[in-house]
Structure 1
């Protein structure tokens, strides 16, 4: 697994988008 800033930013943006939709599953995964 590669941990790049791009991947983190992408995941962060996705988590925020999911949170807007009321989904916090991905957010918990990241945290």
Structure 2
């Protein structure tokens, strides 16, 4: 079950990062 948890965590982390980027674009804009 470790791989499943890791996959879920990765997806959750990616979604959170995307949401943060969309909500606060001027917070981390290096690209």
TM-score range, shorter-chain basis? 0.5 to 0.7
Please, what is the CA RMSD of the aligned residues? 2.0
Unpaired runs of at least 5, structure 1: 24-31
**TM-score, normalized by length of structure 2?**
0.59
Q: Report how many aligned residue pairs link the two structures.
A: 21
Unpaired runs of at least 5, structure 2: 22-31
**TM-score, normalized by length of structure 1?**
0.59
